[in-house]
Structure 1
Amino acid sequence: MKRIIFLIMTMAFVAIGCNKNLEQFTVTPSSLEFSGEAGSQTVTVTAGETWVLKINGGGSWLTTSKTYGKSSGQVEVSVTANSPAERTAEIVFSCAGQSVKVAVKQAPGTAEETVEKGEFYPEPTSGIEVDPVCPNADKPCTIIFKPASDNPLYGHAGELYGHFGVVVDGEWKYVPSDWGVADEKVHFKKVADNYWEFKMEPSIREYFGSGETPVTKIALIVRSEDGNTKSHDEDQFCSVIDDKYKAEEFTPDPLVTKKLPEGVKHGINYNTDGSVTFVFYDKDTAGKSHKYCYIVGDWNEWTRKTEGAMYYDGSQGCWWITLDGFDADKEYRFQYRLGNTSGTDTYVSDPYTEIVYDQWNDQYIAGVPAFPEGAKQLVSAFQINKPEYAWKHKDFKVEDKNDLVIYEMLFRDFTTSQDIEGAMAQLDYIENLGVNAIELMPVQEFDGNLSWGYNPNHWFALDKYYGTREEYKDFIDECHARGIAVIIDVVYNHATGSHPWAKMWWDGANNCTAENNPWFNVVAKHEFNVYHDMNHENAMVKEHVKRSLEHLLTEYDVDGFRFDLTKGFTQNNTLGDVGAWGRYDQSRVDILKGYADHIWSVNENAVVIFEHLADYSEEKVLAEHGIKLWRNMNGTYRSAVNGGSGDFSGSYENNLYGGWVSYMESHDEERLCYGAGADASSVTWGICGTLTNWSSDITMAADGAFFSAKNVTFKADDMFKIRKVGEWNDAFNYGASTKGYKLPLNTEYKLTLGSGSQDMAVPAAGTYDVYFSLAAEKVWLMEAGKRPADPSVTPGGGAAEDPLTVAMRRAGASAAFFLTVPGPKMIWQFGEIGYDYSIDYNDRTGEKPVVTDQYMAVPARKALYDTYAALLKFRRENPRFFDSDASFTWTPSGNLKKITCTVDGKSFHVVGNFAKNQTSYTVPSGTWTDYINGGTVSGSITLKEGEFRLLTK
C-alpha cells in the first residue's frame, strides 16, 4: 500500500513538472507580415526543453535560421523577393506535445518568379525542358521538347506523344496513357520545326489524378505515335514542389483472416437480406497478397475506415466484406485500396463492375455525374435494385447462321453524333439495305472516348461515350424488331494498363505488367500483340471471360460475338516466327472451343465468329465445331474495283460450307473504293524501285501523249514499277505480267494493272528514257534521246464516262460476285455507297468523315446502294440457292467472271465484265430473267466495263 501511495505521489510530481515546462513554452509574435521585398524578422521562443519547427506551405521562398533548439532562443525568419502574387505559409513550433503556429504572409512584389531546379531535371541530351524548372504540384507546367540534331526524334514528321508518370517509391504511378497509343491526353503540339510543347494542366496533380498522393517527382519521355522511337533511352525525371500533401501516416487495421461465405463469386454479390458482399481476388504468382485492402466509396467519404477493412481468405486468395444499410434504389460508386509494401496504396476498380466512372474522360460525356473527390482513376459501382428493362422482342433468334450478311459498324464514325441515338435514327437505312445482322465494333469499356475500342479495360461494363445501358438495350431491341441480329466484337486477347488486374502488379519502370502478375504475360507469346497479353490458360482468366460473355448474352440479349485476335489465345511462344504462330495448336483449340461451348450453353443459337487467320488445318477443326472464321478478301476485291481482274476464289474454297465469314473490306483493311473514282489522267506518275528505293519515286513529267522520265540510270539488277507518286494503290500500280520481266529496248510493252502487277527489269545496266502511256497502258524503255511514236488507242466502246461512275459500277460487280456466293458475309459500314476516304485518313484509327447524305445524293453512289439492296433482296427471296445442297460453280478469276447455281429445278447465273473495255457475252442457253434490270435475256449481250447481270430461270 505504501508503495502504491509512493508511486502516485511520484507520478503527480512528474506531471506537475511537465505542466510547468508546458506553461513556459511560448512563441512570439504569433504572425509575421513581410513586404514584397526580400527580408527577415525574428521570432522569440521560450521553452524549458527541446523544441522543433516545420514549415507548411512555404516552399523555397521561406527559410529559418534553425529548425530546433534545446531551450529558449530566437529564430530568424527570411523570405525572398516576391513575384506579383501574395504568398502565405505557417511555421509550426512543437515542444513536449504542445504546438504553436506562427502565420507568415508576404505582400505581392515586382520580382520575376524564378525557381531553381530541384534534385531531378531532364538531361540536356534528352531535348526535354520543363517550365518552370521546378514546378508546383498545384500549378500547371509546360513540357518543352527541342531535340538536337543527334536526337532520334530530330526532324520527326509525324505526331509526338508523351509518356508521363508520378514517381512513387521509385515506381511510375498514375500513367495517363499506354505506350504507343495516339491519346490526346499526352499529345504534344508542334510549335515550329523541332519545337514541341505539352501543357500539363489545370495542375500537375489534377492532370495525373493523383489525389492525396504526394507529387514530388515526375517521369517523362517523348515518343513517336507508335512508340518505336523515343527521345531518350533512359527515363527522365523532374522534381516537383508539393506543399499540400506529405507522405501520409497511416496505420492499417490488424489483418483479420476469415473464410469466404458459401456461394459467393468474385465481384459484387447481392444478398437476399439487402446486404452486399464484395469479393476481390488478390494473390500473385508467388502466393502473396497486398498488405491490406479497404473498400472506399460514396458511403464512407472515400476514406480508409475500420468498417471498410476487408477480411482475407488465404485459401481462396480473396479479400471480402459484407456491407448493409444501402438505399436499394441508389447507385453507389466504390474502389478498393490495396496496401503496398512500400507504404503506398494502389487504387483499383472491381473487374466485375457493370459500369465504370473515369476520372479523365467522363467530363466530356453529357449526363455523367461529377467524379467523386477522394477517388482516383477508374471507379466501379453497384445498385441493389437495378432497373429492369422491358424487352419487346426477347423471342428473337438467328434462324440461319450460314446465311448471315453482317454490317460492321463503328458507332463513333457511323453518324455525326457518334452515339447510339444517332445510329438508331439510321436503322431505316440499314433495314432498307437488307442486311440481317449488325456487328458492333468493341463497346466494352475502353480507354478514352474516341477509339476503335480494341483497348479494353473492363469486360462487364459497356462504354458510356456511346450511350447508357438502357440505350444499348434499346438499340438491340429495335434491331430485333427489324429482324436484325446484333453481334458484339469482343477483345479478350489483351487489356490495357487501366485494367484492375494489370494495375495490381505493375512494373512502372518498364510500363508493363510485373513478372508476378498471374493473369498477364510480361512478354507476349506472339508477334502481333498490343497492350498486355492475357494468359488464357489461367483458370481465373477463363472464368472471367466466360462470365462476361454470359453477362452480355443475358443482360443485353446480344446474339453472338466476333472474337478479336483469337490466334493469340495461347501460351505457346512463337515470338519471332509468325509462321509457327499460325500452325495447328491443340491447346489454343481447346481454349477456344471452351469459350464457344459456354456461349452455346447460354444461347444455343448464338453466333460465334473468330478473327483467327491461322492455318487451314486448325480453322477446319474450329469450323466443324460450329465456329465461323473471318476470311479476308480485301486485296483481290480492291484490285477488281480499282481496275484489275482479281481472283475471288478464296471466298468459297475447301468446301467448308458456312465456315468462312468472307469480307471485301473491314475496319482493319483499306477501303474498297479508295482511289477508285480518281481521274488517273490527273495523277502524278513516277518510277519506283531499287534504282532509288521502294519508298520514293522518280517523278515523270507530262510529255505529249506520254508521261516520261529521261536519263534514268539503272543498274543491271534494278527492278521497278510505275505508280502514282508516293502511293501503293491498285488503281495506280502498273508492272509486268511476270516478275523480273526484262523490258525490250525501244519497243512497247503492255502493262498489267493492280495487285497482279510484277516488278520489271532492264535488259542491261545503262541510262534510259522511260515513256508511259496511261491511255494505252503501255511502257517504252528507250535509248536515251530516242522517243517512241505516239501510241494508237482503241476505244473501249460506248460514250466516255467519268471515273467515279465506272468505279461504282465495278464496285457493284464485285458485290455481285461476293453476295451471291454461299456462306456468311460481312460488309464494312458505307462500303455500299463506295466510301473512299482512306483508312489512314486522320491516322488509321482516327475519326473519319460521315458523308452518308452527301454520298446518297450522288447518282453513281446511290446506284451502288441500290445494287447492294437488290442483291440482298435476292438472297432473302431465294434462300435455297444458298443451302449446302445447291449446285454452285463459278469462274472467279479473269476479266469475265461467271457463277451458275442450281437447286430444286431453279437456276441463277451471274456474269461480270472486269476488263477495262466493254465486251460481248453469250448467256447460257434458254431465256433468262434479268433480276435487277427486268425483262428477259437470251443470246448475246454487251457488258460495259464493270457491268454485271444477275439472271434467273
Structure 2
Amino acid sequence: MQNFINHLITLSRMNRKFLQTLVPLVVFFLSLPFMVNAQVVTSVPALPTAGDRVVITFHADRGNQGLMGFTGDVYAHTGVITNLSPGPSGWRHVIAAWAVNSPRALMTRTGTNTYTLTIEPNIREFYNVPAAETIQQLAFVFRSADGTRTGRATGGGDIFHDVFQPGLQVSFTSPVGFQPLYERNANVPISVSALQADSVTLFVNRNRVASTTAGTLNHTWQATTTGRFNLRAVAYRGQQTIADSTYFFVRPDVTVAPLPAGVRNGINYINDNTVTLVLHDPPAAKQHVFVIADFNGWQLDEDYFMRRTPDGRHFWVTITGLEPRKEYAFQYLIDGDLRIADPYTEKILDPWHDQEIIDQGRYPGLIAYPRGKTTHAVAVLQTARPPFQWRNNNFVPPAQEDLIIYELHIRDFLESPNNTYAGLRERLPYLRDLGINAIKLMPIAEFEGNSSWGYNNAFFFAPDKFYGPREELKRFIDEAHGMGIAVILDIVWNHSFGQSPLLRMYYDEARNRPADNNPWYMDQIFANPAMQWGYKFDHGSQYFRDFMDRVNHHWLTEYRFSGFRFDVSKGFTTRFKGNDDPWGSRFDQERVNNLTRLFHNLRSVNPRAYVILEHLSDNDEETALANAGMMLWGNMNHSYSEAAMGWHDGGRSNFQWASHRVRGWQHPRLIAYMESHDEERVMFRLLNWGNQTPTYNTRELGTALRRVELAATFLFTIPGPKMLWQFGELGYDFSINRCPDGTINNACRVDPKPVRWDYFNDPRRRRLHDVFMLLFNLRRNHEVFRTHDFHMDVSGEVKRIYLNHPSRNVLIIGNFGVTPHTTPGNFQHGGTWHEFFSGQSRHVTHNEMALTLQPGEYRIYSTVAFPAHGVPLSAPEQLMPAQTQIRVYPNPSAQGFWFQVPVETPSDITLEVLNLTGQIVYRTTQQSFPGNNTLFWEGFAGQADRRGIYLYRISVGNQTFTGRIAVK
C-alpha cells in the first residue's frame, strides 16, 4: 500500500483532478492511529471484546466533519488491527475494498449526524479473524457511496476503537484523544468503563475524587485552574487490580500583546539562544495556539502558549534557553486539534518518508522524526547555524539572449542513491564541457513524497531532503557559478497539494476544498478538469502575494539562484476560464498585471534575475509579457519531431514559431526547445514512427541520431535563448511514458526513467554530443548568433536559416527529407563561403548555385570562416581503427595519463591533447621504436578549473588516432 501511495503522490503533472480527489485518501492512509478525536465513534458495550456483539455509533458532526449534514448512503470502510499488523495503522481483514459498497458495511442512519453499524454475531466472526490472532482495535473510515466524502478523525486520520481481552479491564472513555484541551472554568466530563470489576476509583492528580461499584463511573471536573491534570482509574476485583491513565490540559486565557519590533512571520532568530515564533492568521479565525516541540517534550505547557496581537492576525511567542547550533523540531497546535509545521520553515521532518532518506544515506545526520509524540510534518529550527562560505562572489549570469539552458531532474539524471545535490555537483564538469551556461532544476522545494517531479510542493522555503542537505545545494550552485553556469529554479505558484500548512489551516473538509476564509487559496478557476491541479493559489490576495514574494526572495538571496521558471503561469489570475476558453489562452489583463508586478518585484532584489514563464497562451498576451522583460517557454516539440522524422505534409514540420521575430516580439525572449521534461523524446518518436524509404530509414539508430543532429542545428542557431532536456545531447530514446517494467503507459509519465550515462561511450551518440557542443560554442563565441537581422525558410523539406551581421553572414541549410535533394543554395550573395563542420570552402558565383544534400545532411556556411573546431566527426569506425591497440591508463585521472602505442615501423609519434573547443593544450613528439611505445602527459597538476573531458590525437606516420580522456 505504501508503494501505491508514493506513486499517487508523484502524479503531479497529470490526472491532477483525480489526484485532488485522492489527497484526503492518502492522508487517511498515512495518519497515525492516536489522533482520534473524542468519541467520533462510541460502542455498546463500551469495552468490547472479540466475542461480543457490538453496535458502533458514528458521530458525523465530530472528527473532521466530512460527512456532517450528508444525506446520502454512508458506508464503513472497516478492518481490524491485530498482533500480526505490520504497524499501529496496519489494517487487516478489511470487509471490502475502498471502492466496493458492501451491504455488510452500510450504515443505518439514526439521526441527522448519527449512524450505526451492528457487528454480529461477534467481532471475530464478523471480520473473519482466525482464533490464534489477537484483535487489538477496530479501524474505520466512513465514506459516501462514491468515496468523495469521508468521515475521519480530527486531523484526517483513521478512526480506531479499542478491543479488550476478557477479564478485569478498565478504560477511560472520556476524555480521550491526544492531548485533550479545555478552557478554564469548563466542566470536564470524565467517564470510566470497567469489565468484571467489583469497584472503580477515580484519582485526579493523585487525589481520590470518586468511586463506584457499577461498571461505569461518570464524574464532572470543574476546571477552575489551568495546567495539566493527570487522571488515574483503578478497578478492583478481590485482590486483583488494574489501572488506566490519561490526562487533560486546561489552557489559560490568551494574552493580547503587540508583535515585538523587527520580527516577521515564521522563525525569527534573536540570538544564539533565543527565537521568536510568529504564526500568521490573516482572518483572525483561530482562537489559541501552543508550540509543541523537542524543547518541551511535545507536551502542552503554558510557557509555550502563544500571545495574540490586538488585531487577532498574529500569534507569537519568544523561546529562550536554546542550545546554539542544536536542531529542534516543533509544531503549532492550533485550537487543540490542528498540528502544522511553520509555513516558513527551511527544513521539515516527515513521518512517512524520512526513513527512506536515512536508509539510503542521502542526508547524513538527519535528526529523527518525533514518532509517537505528534503527527504530520514538523518544522526544524536551529540557532547559530554556521553561515555558508561562498567562494564565487563575482559571478555574473549570462545575458538572457545568450542562455543555453540544460533542464534536468535530479532523480532521473543520476543513479540512486547518488542522485543528490552532491552527486549533481560531481557532474558539473560534464555540463561545462558540453557548453551550456545555465541549469534549470525541476522543483526542489520540499514536495510530498520522495520520488516526484516536484510539482506537488508543500513547504516552499525548504530544499527537499531526498536530494541531500541544503549546504550541498549551495555548494552545487557555488561551483556552477565558478564554471560560469547560472542555476534556475523551477517553482510552482499555481497550486499546492494537501500537505501545505497554508491549506490545512483553513480547509473545508466537507467540500474537499480550501475554506472560504482561506487567505492564500481560492476555488479552481478552470472549468476544464485538465487544467485543475492540486489546490489553487489566490493571486488576487495580498497575503498570498506577500508569501510568494518572500519565498522568491529567499531562493534568490539565501541560495543565489539566478532566477525562476514559473510553472503554469496561466494560473496567475483569479478570472474564471469557462469551456469557451478551456486552456485559459485568451488575453487576460489581470494575469499580465500580476506577472508584471512579480517581475519587477524580483528585479528589485536582483536586477538580473531571470523570470521564465511556462505560459503557452495566445501570442498577444505572450508578446505583452515578453515586451515587459520576461522570457517565455516556446514549445516546438511537435514541429521539430515531425521535421526530424521526415513528415512534412500540411506544414507540420514548419518550426518558424521558434523565432521571436516571426511572433512579432521586440526582443529575443523566447526560449525555444524541442524537448522538455513535459514532452515526448524526439529520439523515441524517430525510432518508432520515423519516415523511411527502401534505402533510407530514420528508424535505424545511427540514422535517427543524425536526424537529431540536423534538428539541433536548426534549433540552436536561431538567435535567442534555448533549452534542451537532459540527455538530449546523447539521443535519449526512452519514452516519457515508460513504466518501470518497460511498458509504455500514460500513467507512468512521472515514474523514474533509466539513467544512461553509458550512452556517452557509444561513438554514434558521442558524435551527437559533440555536435551539440560545437553548436553551443558557436552561439557563445560569435556575435552573428545574436543578430536581429535573420529570417527562416523552414516550411519545406529543405530548410534554411539566414543570419546577417557585420562580422559575417551565415546560411544554415539542411535536408529534412528522406531522399536526396539538389536545390538552389540561396546564399545571401556570391563569394567564398566556408562550411563549419567539414572545414571546406566553396566559391559561390551566384546565390542560387545548386547544392546536393543527402537525406539528413546539414551544413553551416559563413562568409568568414569560423575557427577550426578540432573535433573528429568522422564515421564511428574511423575514430579508432579496430586493429589499433592504443591503451590509455588511468582514465579518468587527476595525476596524469600514460599512452601505450604499438608501432611496427620506427617513425615519429606525436601526442596532442585538445580541449573541446579544439585548442591544443599539450603537444609532444618523440622517436618511436618497434613494439609498444609509451608517452606520458602529467595533466594540470590538480587544477580544479581544468577538470573535464579532453580529446587526444596520436599521429604515427600517416595514421592518426583519436580518443577521449577525463581529467579529474
Give the TM-score normalised by the residue count of structure 1. 0.65
Q: Say whether the 8 Å CA contact 2:420–2:468 is kept in structure 1.
A: yes
* Pairing partner for 1:669 from 679, 685, 692: 679
Aligned-pair distance for 1:825? 0.6
Map of 1:220-235 to 2, 5 A cutoff? Answer: 232=147, 235=150
Map of 1:427-466 to 2, 5 A cutoff? Answer: 427-466=428-467
Aligned to 2:356: 364
**How far apart, in 2, do the equivalents of 1:523 and 1:304 lie?**
38
**How far apart, in 1, do the equivalents of 2:278 and 2:701 lie?**
60
3-state SS, counterpart of residue 588 of structure 1: helix
Q: Say whether the 8 Å CA contact 2:519–2:544 is kept in structure 1.
A: no
* Pairing partner for 1:531 from 525, 530, 534: 534
Structure 1 residues 495 and 888: alpha-carbon distance in aligned structure 2, compared to 1, 3 A threshold: same
* Pairing partner for 1:650 from 651, 657, 661: 657
**How far apart, in 1, do the equivalents of 2:282 and 2:138 lie?**
29
Unaligned stretches of 5+ residues in structure 2: 1-38, 60-66, 103-111, 115-133, 153-157, 164-170, 181-247, 359-363, 740-746, 844-848, 864-968
**How far apart, in 2, do the equivalents of 1:802 and 1:513 lie?**
50
Aligned-pair distance for 1:305? 0.5
**How far apart, in 2, do the equivalents of 1:410 and 1:360 lie?**
23
Aligned to 2:758: 854
Deviates more, 1:377-386 or 1:265-274: 265-274
Aligned to 1:334: 330
Structure 1 residues 906 and 261: alpha-carbon distance in aligned structure 2, compared to 1, 3 A threshold: same
Aligned-pair distance for 1:464? 0.7
3-state SS, counterpart of residue 241 of structure 1: strand
Aligned to 1:376: 375
Deviates more, 1:378-387 or 1:935-944: 935-944
Aligned to 1:86: none
**How far apart, in 2, do the equivalents of 1:204 and 1:303 lie?**
30
Map of 1:686-701 to 2, 5 A cutoff? Answer: none
Q: Say whether the 8 Å CA contact 1:118–1:239 is kept in structure 2.
A: no
Matched, 1:308 2:304: yes
Matched, 1:578 2:480: no
Structure 1 residues 360 and 874: alpha-carbon distance in aligned structure 2, compared to 1, 3 A threshold: same
Structure 1 residues 117 and 450: alpha-carbon distance in aligned structure 2, compared to 1, 3 A threshold: farther
Structure 1 residues 323 and 404: alpha-carbon distance in aligned structure 2, compared to 1, 3 A threshold: same
Aligned-pair distance for 1:893? 1.5
Q: Which has the larger radius of gyration?
A: 1
User: Residues 109-144 of structure 1, C-alpha deviation per residue, up to 9 Å, x if partnerless?
Assistant: xxxxx9968456999999996444999994621476
Q: Say whether the 8 Å CA contact 1:526–1:581 is kept in structure 2.
A: no
Q: Say whether the 8 Å CA contact 1:553–1:559 is kept in structure 2.
A: yes
Aligned to 1:92: none
Structure 1 residues 918 and 308: alpha-carbon distance in aligned structure 2, compared to 1, 3 A threshold: same
**How far apart, in 1, do the equivalents of 2:512 and 2:135 lie?**
20
**How far apart, in 1, do the equivalents of 2:730 and 2:593 lie?**
41
User: Residues 383-409 of structure 1, C-alpha deviation per residue, up to 9 Å, x if partnerless?
Assistant: 221221111112112131111010001
* Pairing partner for 1:547 from 547, 550, 565: 550
**How far apart, in 2, do the equivalents of 1:141 and 1:436 lie?**
52
Instruction: State the one-letter code of the partner of 1:664.
Output: M
Map of 1:205-604 to 2, 5 A cutoff? Answer: 217-219=140-142, 232=147, 235=150, 240-242=160-162, 246-247=176-177, 248=180, 249-271=248-270, 274-284=273-283, 288-315=284-311, 317-339=313-335, 344-366=336-358, 367=364, 368-373=366-371, 374-417=373-416, 418-525=419-526, 527=528, 528-578=531-581, 581-604=584-607
Instruction: State the one-letter code of the partner of 1:944.
Output: Q
**How far apart, in 1, do the equivalents of 2:310 and 2:527 lie?**
34
3-state SS, counterpart of residue 457 of structure 1: strand
Instruction: State the one-letter code of the partner of 2:566.
Output: F
Instruction: State the one-letter code of the partner of 2:764.
Output: A
3-state SS, counterpart of residue 547 of structure 1: helix
Q: How many residues align?
A: 666
Aligned to 2:166: none
**How far apart, in 1, do the equivalents of 2:46 and 2:93 lie?**
29
**How far apart, in 2, do the equivalents of 1:386 and 1:647 lie?**
55
Q: Say whether the 8 Å CA contact 1:126–1:231 is kept in structure 2.
A: no
**How far apart, in 1, do the equivalents of 2:405 and 2:424 lie?**
16
Matched, 1:881 2:784: yes
Q: Say whether the 8 Å CA contact 1:115–1:133 is kept in structure 2.
A: no
Instruction: State the one-letter code of the partner of 1:946.
Output: G
Structure 1 residues 115 and 491: alpha-carbon distance in aligned structure 2, compared to 1, 3 A threshold: farther
User: Residues 410-434 of structure 1, C-alpha deviation per residue, up to 9 Å, x if partnerless?
Assistant: 0010011222222222222211211
Q: Say whether the 8 Å CA contact 2:82–2:92 is kept in structure 1.
A: no
Aligned to 1:25: none
Q: Say whether the 8 Å CA contact 1:413–1:847 is kept in structure 2.
A: no
**How far apart, in 1, do the equivalents of 2:316 and 2:328 lie?**
17
Matched, 1:931 2:845: no
Aligned-pair distance for 1:555? 0.7
Map of 1:910-929 to 2, 5 A cutoff? Answer: 910-923=812-825, 924=827, 925-929=830-834
**How far apart, in 2, do the equivalents of 1:877 and 1:487 lie?**
22
Aligned to 1:835: 732
* Pairing partner for 1:946 from 838, 856, 859: 856
Q: Say whether the 8 Å CA contact 1:677–1:806 is kept in structure 2.
A: no
* Pairing partner for 2:624 from 621, 624, 642: 621
User: Residues 129-187 of structure 1, C-alpha deviation per residue, up to 9 Å, x if partnerless?
Assistant: 64449999946214769779x9799xxxxxxxxxxxxxxx999xxxxxxxxxxxxxxxx
Structure 1 residues 429 and 80: alpha-carbon distance in aligned structure 2, compared to 1, 3 A threshold: closer
**How far apart, in 2, do the equivalents of 1:486 and 1:139 lie?**
42
Aligned-pair distance for 1:932? 1.6
Aligned to 1:757: none
**How far apart, in 2, do the equivalents of 1:932 and 1:204 lie?**
76
3-state SS, counterpart of residue 458 of structure 1: strand
* Pairing partner for 1:868 from 766, 772, 779: 772
Instruction: State the one-letter code of the partner of 1:218.
Output: V
3-state SS, counterpart of residue 240 of structure 1: strand
**How far apart, in 1, do the equivalents of 2:309 and 2:271 lie?**
23
**How far apart, in 2, do the equivalents of 1:361 and 1:407 lie?**
29
Q: Say whether the 8 Å CA contact 2:698–2:707 is kept in structure 1.
A: no
Q: Say whether the 8 Å CA contact 2:77–2:141 is kept in structure 1.
A: no
**How far apart, in 1, do the equivalents of 2:623 and 2:101 lie?**
46
**How far apart, in 1, do the equivalents of 2:50 and 2:569 lie?**
63
* Pairing partner for 1:606 from 604, 609, 612: 609
Instruction: State the one-letter code of the partner of 2:677.
Output: H
* Pairing partner for 1:821 from 718, 726, 744: 718
3-state SS, counterpart of residue 458 of structure 2: coil
Q: Say whether the 8 Å CA contact 2:271–2:384 is kept in structure 1.
A: no
Structure 1 residues 577 and 219: alpha-carbon distance in aligned structure 2, compared to 1, 3 A threshold: farther
* Pairing partner for 2:638 from 630, 635, 639: 635
Q: Say whether the 8 Å CA contact 1:623–1:659 is kept in structure 2.
A: yes
Question: Could you say what the CA RMSD is over the residues aligned between the two structures, in angstroms?
Answer: 3.6
**How far apart, in 2, do the equivalents of 1:448 and 1:311 lie?**
34
Instruction: State the one-letter code of the partner of 1:672.
Output: V
Structure 1 residues 256 and 525: alpha-carbon distance in aligned structure 2, compared to 1, 3 A threshold: farther
Q: Say whether the 8 Å CA contact 1:119–1:239 is kept in structure 2.
A: no
Structure 1 residues 329 and 239: alpha-carbon distance in aligned structure 2, compared to 1, 3 A threshold: closer
**How far apart, in 1, do the equivalents of 2:764 and 2:771 lie?**
11
Structure 1 residues 125 and 318: alpha-carbon distance in aligned structure 2, compared to 1, 3 A threshold: closer
Instruction: State the one-letter code of the partner of 2:341.
Output: S
Structure 1 residues 525 and 364: alpha-carbon distance in aligned structure 2, compared to 1, 3 A threshold: same
Instruction: State the one-letter code of the partner of 1:336.
Output: Y
Give the TM-score normalised by the residue count of structure 2. 0.64
* Pairing partner for 1:897 from 781, 795, 799: 799
Give the percent of matched residue pairs that are identical in Structure 1 and Structure 2. 33
